[in-house]
Amino acid sequence: MPAINMATALNQALGQMMNTEPRLVILGEDVGQNGGVFRVTAGLWETYGAERVMDTPLAESAIVGSAIGMAIGGLRPVAEIQFMGFLYPALNQIFSHLGRLGQRSRGKFRVPLVVRIPYGGGIRAPEQHADSAEAPLVHTAGIKVVVPSTPYDAKGLLVAAIEDPDPVIFLEPIRLYRLGRAEVPADLYRVRIGPARLARTGSDVSLISWGAMTHLALQTAEAMAGDGVSVEVVDLRSLKPMDEAMIAESVRKTGRAVVVHEAPRTAGLGGEVVSVIQEHAFWWLKAPIRRVAAYDVPYPPYAWEDVYLPTPSRVMRAIRQVLQD
């Protein structure tokens, strides 16, 4: 199997699905002739033409609203929001329509729509280009939310999302697009939406994360191994539905848990993970659960993002705290 990065894996998934699914269309800002700001749609406009790979105006609400109409009309649209910080004008379409239409129509309409959203920090992007606002999306009933942390999962999850009969928000960690390579099958395959991935086994503490923070968790686990601490890393990869069984199983084994995410701490998705642990693994806990997250302030200028985002030292400090409690 060839070793490719995440951006190439996503491009493969889109190209192969366009070849096998004639109803699939792509729309978004600069996705056509320019191939997307991160080159994820590179080459697709040349191959499939402007009727299937459509450049849109800078109008996020119109992008998602048009895609909803396309999905109801029988197409399989994949809409791209260029950066998560640009998503907010489209939230009315997502909150009020995307997840509700199946129920409102008593099952008459299905909305097989994928909304791709590059998100997160770590690449020195300008203001409003590095948000991590997964929590309100997960809170919205009627949609699934997934986020890969490896090229293999990126391709397989995107194929599964496109084939899903209901809407899927597909979050793509910006800093992982070209952070290393991994073996990815050249043929089509699927990674089922829902199950988490056990990224590393351990016995002393469970680190639970998703997206780019999974790489931070693995880096921290490797560093802690040098100190004789065995860290287990759970990569959620599906935020909704969430694999509560794997979270509980890991914490029951280790007795300690640290949750890591790059969104602000207050009302972040880490609080939901903590609730899952409290409900399903409370009697196995040997110490209070810790959260490592970004601070409750607007995302800072890029020169300060290393201070704002979780770091290995902050995660290691949380691990040492749960080991001492």
- What residues act catalytically? 129
Separation CA 320–CA 325 (nearest Å): 9
Separation between Cα atoms, residue 42 and residue 203, nearest integer Å: 43
Tokens found for residue 168: 């899927």
Q: Residue 117: CB partners within 8 Å, gap ≥ 6?
A: 80, 81, 83, 84, 87, 169, 170, 171, 172
Helix, strand, or coil (residue 72) = helix
Q: How far apart are CA 313 and CA 185, in angstroms?
A: 35
DSSP string for residues in 220-239: HHHHHHTTT--EEEEE--EE
Residue 296, Cβ density class (10 Å: 0-12 exposed, 13-18 middle, ≥19 buried) = exposed
Q: Is 320 exposed, middle or buried, given 0-12, 13-18 or 19+ CB atoms closer than 10 A?
A: middle
- Cα dihedral 78, 168, 148, 185, rounded to 10, equals -60
